[in-house]
Amino acid sequence: MPELPEVEVVRQGILPYVKNQLVLNVIIRHTHLRFPIPQQLKEILTGQPIQEILRRGKYLLFLFPHGVLILHLGMSGSLRVLSQVTLPKKHDHVDILLSSHYCVRYTDPRRFGAILWTDKNYLHHPLLSSLGPEPLSSHLTTRYLMAKARNKKTPIKSFLMNSQIIVGVGNIYANEALYMANIHPLTLAGEVTKEQWQNLCHIIKSVLRKAIKQGGTTLKDFVKSDGQPGYFKQRLLVYGKAGTPCVKCRTTLKEIRITQRTTVFCPHCQKYQSRDKRVT
DNA sequence: ACTTCGACCTGTTGGC
DNA sequence: TGCCAACAGGTCGAAG
């Protein structure tokens, strides 16, 4: 369940259980993720303290004195803290046992996720070095987005989902943000107006913040139980709602595909605009 | 240089 | 009920 907000919720949820705890053991049951898990991970981590967990985009960064564990949840990954080590299920690929007697368990049916080791200069790692700014930081500005979008012929939705432009906006939040900003998802990035960028920049930040806040209320359950369903689902306005009425104008929401990802929008609220055309 | 597409995986769902 | 195609919260690297 890896949207930026959920990754952040995971980070905040597990941090109290792992911060400053020593790794007692690492059990790897399946090394074949998006990239192979380093063979020596157990030897690298055992006896070392987890000093901090940071997040960069959708990557979680476990800081150790001698390096950094990079962890990505892919499409289907999850991390849980177990107070008792239960019998592993089919897709429970990695357990990290801690001196607090908690166990961090990594589960990922599709195995699009990743667990990698790098040195303390983690920002130089190839997976992290070319990422765009954090949407919730002051580095994401209207000015920045406009500059990046200049002359770009890619649809605004694909632009928003490009992690080199901006991190953390996945399919759900790209759909939601464009709906809230009344921008047709096929609008070329280079044709979005300054006013639209201002609005969109604000909306991206606010929707991600709200989702994190709502995730916060399930933290307790998340840690104790085996994974709650994404519950901000009930707050979504368009994602997964094609064929139902727009909450603003009651027009039936339409579904299209943009670069192989399902896209939902309101044909009335999000009219396609370009210099001289106006189409739905 | 820019944009799209295929690939990586397993599980679930919906149509026939 | 079974079978099969399509699709699912991501993203890298090749192809166009």
For every one of its 280 residues, what pLDDT tens digit does chain A have, with 9 covering 90 and above? 688 999 999 999 999 999 999 999 999 999 999 999 999 999 999 999 999 999 999 999 999 999 999 999 999 999 999 999 999 999 999 999 999 999 999 999 999 999 999 999 999 999 999 999 999 999 999 999 999 999 999 999 999 999 999 999 999 999 999 999 999 999 999 999 999 999 999 999 999 999 998 874 443 344 444 455 556 777 899 999 999 999 999 999 999 999 999 999 999 999 997 654 434 4
Cα-flanking dihedrals φ and ψ of residue A70, to 5°? -100, 130
Measuring from the CA of residue A109 to each C1', which nucleotide is nearest? B10
Measuring from the CA of residue A232 to each C1', which nucleotide is nearest? C9
Q: Please, where are the H alpha helices in chain A?
A: 4-18, 41-45, 126-129, 142-149, 156-160, 171-180, 194-216, 219-224
pTM over 0.85: yes
DSSP code of residue A36: B
State the catalytic residues of A.
2-3, 58, 261
Token reading at A27: 């059990």
Greatest Cα-to-Cα distance within chain A, rounded to the nearest angstrom: 65
Rounded to whole angstroms, the distance from the CA of residue A240 to the C1' of nucleotide B13 is 14
Closest to A117 measured CA to CA, from A202, A45, A176: A45
Residue pair A30/A93 in contact (Cβ under 8 Å)? The answer is yes
Cα–Cα distance between A230 and A217 in angstroms, integer?
Answer: 12
Residue pair A52/A63 in contact (Cβ under 8 Å)? The answer is yes
Among all protein residues, pick the one whose CA is nearest to the C1' atom of B10: A110
Measuring from the CA of residue A59 to each C1', which nucleotide is nearest? C10
Whether A257 CB is under 7 Å from strand B: no
Rounded to whole angstroms, the distance from the CA of residue A229 to the C1' of nucleotide C1 is 29
Rounded to whole angstroms, the distance from the CA of residue A260 to the C1' of nucleotide C5 is 16
Whether A110 CB is under 7 Å from strand B: yes
pLDDT of residue A228: 56
Cα–Cα distance between A37 and A94 in angstroms, integer?
Answer: 10
Protein-proximal nucleotides of chain B (any atom < 7 Å from a CB): 2-11
- Between helices A194-216 and A171-180, what is the axis angle to 10°? 130
Cα–Cα distance between A170 and A3 in angstroms, integer?
Answer: 6
Burial of A9 per CB tally in 10 Å (0-12, 13-18, 19+): buried
pLDDT of residue A235: 84
Whether A6 CB is under 7 Å from strand C: yes
